[in-house]
Amino acid sequence: MQTLRASKYGLSTTQLPSAILDVIDALTKAGYEAYIVGGGVRDLMLGLNPKDYDAVTNATPSQVKEVFGRRCRIIGRRFELAHVYSGRELIEVATFRAPPKKEVTSASGMILRDNNWGTIEQDFVRRDFSINALYYQPRKNEVLDFCNAVDDIKHKTLRLLGDPMQRFEEDPVRMLRTLRFAAKLNFSIDEKILKIFTPEATQLLRDVSPHRLYDESQKLFTMGHLNRVMPMLIDFGIWHQLFAEITPEITPFIERAAKNTDQRISVGKTINPAFFYAVLLWKPFLERCHFYLSNGTVATEARAQAGLDVLKRQGTRTIIPRFAETFIREVWEMQTRLLNPKPQQIEALSSHARFRAGFDFLLLREKSGDKDTQGMGVWWDVYQTLSADEKERAIADYNRQRAKSRRKASHALAEEAKSNGAIQQAAIEPLVNEPEPRSRRSRKPKNATEFKRQSTMTDSAGGIGADHPILKRKRVKRDLSQVIFGPTQ
């Protein structure tokens, strides 16, 4: 172990938020050891801005609860932790771990219980990567390095502590963390890891709960380097362990969505991780829709059932929460509404709760070369920048274009029906070649002579002639004096 001066490596208390200092000071004041550990220390040394900070102490979770009272909540069963709230910030506080006296593991070697308390020397051995095993005491200006982690940071090398295969068996999620850190930090992976990181080894991820895999997938989507990590998921055989029905390929749509997600994160914009799941599952959704439509299902029902099928199938790998599933299905449904909106509904549609997500999805499809969008992505993009008067004119233009397209479609349909009718007429000859009158007026006789002529023709044809009794019947005038009007007795 070597004790390093923190300021020499660019670390100081001025860089730290008040929440983590509050936790460290409270534990130290209560007589316990307390350090900042993990990604927070690593990112500060690399000159990055850490998303969060974790603390580690020799106090047990129940003792941490005594120090912070209602501000603390103990969570976890396999790996017990204390969550301490400082204002709006949440600090995760772990206790020093020791090697278990009696290991509780699964058949594949995954640790099922890990709540054996120990010392700081025992704790660093339990950590996964060397770069995450630096202990920083801000008040003492010290960094404790037990495994030359500073050298690994200097040479940008990702190295596991201990035997890599054993560490993966203890927790298969470390495979995902390996790729995530390599992509995020642009580190090279140690040769010892590459030797055992095979598609066969990734089968260990089947022992991890789908809920936990979903959480890890969200970390991949939101780390800001999604475009770099997606090909790595295919190369290392992890794609099939995360995604059920998605073909392992980076389509132009997926690539553009990944770049767009990274750009939003880089400029500080918020993202919804479920949006990228909607992108990944779009192709299976379309294939399932086509299956139901080809079987005669109504379009609305086909889309609804296809969405349920695809998300249920994905649940065998990563269980997407109900609220995220609803979001994904609404984004898919918005595609149909945005492609062919009714003119009177355009203004209301632009203020829909899911309009922004649906529009972003449509525009990404269009920019990635999807011809089915019919240019509506650009239309909606321009529409949002217009004034109220300009929007009215744009809707009127859209309505005229829509009517014109419908007329063209109906004309094409009529021409097709006409050609089909001509073919059928040529095949079957009519029994009577007598032309039909052009209008009803031409059917009526113009005078009595013509009426008599038509009657004679009808009679000679074997129909009703002029001497027929029905034509000689006279109208009898009724005696209305005998008729009682109004209510009767």
Residues 23 and 150 in one domain: yes
pLDDT at 288: 94
Q: Which residues pair with 56 in a beta bridge?
A: 35, 94
Claim to verify: residue 124 and residue 257 sit in the same structural domain: no
In a domain? residue 475: no
Total number of domains constituting the chain: 2
Q: 160 and 235 share a domain?
A: no
Mean pLDDT of 196-201: 90
Q: What are phi and psi of 372, to 5 degrees?
A: -70, -10
pLDDT for residue 430: 47
39 has a pLDDT exceeding 60: yes
Residues facing 86 on adjacent strands: 89
Q: Which of 332-341, 346-355, 410-419, 456-465 has the lowest mean pLDDT?
A: 456-465
| CB crowding 178-216: b at 16 or more within 10 Å, else e | bbbbbbbbebebbeebeeebeeebbebbeebeeeebbeb
Mean pLDDT of 360-372: 93
**C-beta neighbour count of 151 within 10 angstroms:** 12
350 and 243 part of one domain: yes
pLDDT at 479 > cutoff 90: no
- Kindly state the average pLDDT of the residues 281-287: 95
The confidence score (pLDDT) of residue 431 equals: 44
Determine which of 171-185, 208-222, 462-476 has the lowest per-residue pLDDT on average. Answer: 462-476
Note the pLDDT of residue 446.
Answer: 53
Whether 152 contacts 131, CB under 8 Å: yes
Check residue 255 and give its pLDDT.
Answer: 95
The mean pLDDT value for 283-287 works out to 94
Contact 216, 252 (CB under 8 A): no
DSSP H or E run through 37: strand 34-37
Is 438 within a domain?
Answer: no
Last residue of a domain, one of 376, 408, 440: 408
| pLDDT for res 328 | 96
What are the strands of the beta sheet with 72-75, ordered from one edge? 2-5, 142-145, 134-137, 34-37, 54-57, 89-95, 81-86, 72-75
Note the pLDDT of residue 258: 95
Residues 140 and 216 in one domain: no
Is the confidence at residue 465, as pLDDT, over 70? no
Confidence band of 87 (pLDDT split at 50, 70, 90): confident
Is residue 87 situated within a structural domain? Answer: yes
Cβ atoms of residues 35 and 59 within 8 Å: no
CATH number, domain containing residue 12: 3.30.460.10
Q: Which of 365, 385, 408 is the last residue of a domain?
A: 408
Instruction: Tell me, yes or no, whether 17 and 155 share the same domain.
Output: yes
The answer to whether 27 touches 10, Cβ cutoff 8 Å, is: no
Q: Residues 6 or more apart from 383 whose CB is under 8 A from it?
A: 346, 350, 391, 394
From 18-32, 263-277, 404-418, the region with the lowest mean pLDDT: 404-418
* Beta-sheet pairing, 89-95 with 54-57: parallel
- pLDDT, residue 443, reads 53
pLDDT at 157: 93
| Residue in the block written with tokens 């001066």 | 5
| Averaged pLDDT of the chain | 85
Q: What φ, ψ does residue 116 adopt, rounded to 5°?
A: -105, 115
Structural domain for 346, as ranges: 209-408
The set of catalytic residues is 52, 54, 128
**Within a domain: 310:** yes
- Is a pLDDT exceeding 80 seen at residue 481? no
* Domain annotation covers residue 187: no
Higher-confidence residue of 405 and 189: namely: 189
Rounded Cα gap, residues 431 and 440, in angstroms: 23
Per-residue pLDDT, 49: 87
Q: Tell me: pLDDT of 214 over 50.
A: yes
Instruction: Report the pLDDT averaged over residues 332-356.
Output: 91
Give 94 or 425, the one with higher predicted confidence.
94
- 181 assigned to some structural domain: no
The per-residue pLDDT for 486 is 64
Domain-embedded: residue 452: no
At residue 110, the pLDDT reads 52
Q: Is the pLDDT of residue 84 over 90?
A: yes
Whether residue 467 has pLDDT greater than 90: no
Residues forming beta bridges with residue 129, ordered by sequence position: 160
Give the pLDDT score at 113.
54
Rounded to 5 degrees, φ, ψ at 259 are: -65, -40
| Residue range 406-450, pLDDT digits in tens | 787 777 767 776 766 654 554 444 444 445 555 555 555 555 555
Domain end, chosen from 375, 408, 441, is at 408
**Tens of pLDDT along 95-150?**
998 876 655 555 554 544 556 788 999 888 888 899 999 999 999 999 999 999 99
Tell me the average pLDDT across 301-317.
Answer: 94
CA distance 489 to 485: 12
User: Does a structural domain hold residue 121?
Assistant: yes
pLDDT given for residue 406 in this prediction:
77
Do 105 and 242 belong to one domain? no
Highest-confidence segment of 73-87, 120-134, 356-370, 471-485: 356-370
Per-residue pLDDT for 25 more than 80?
yes
CATH of the domain at 340: 1.10.3090.10
165 and 293 housed in the same domain: no
Residue 52 pLDDT > 60: yes
* pLDDT, greater one: 67 or 469: 67
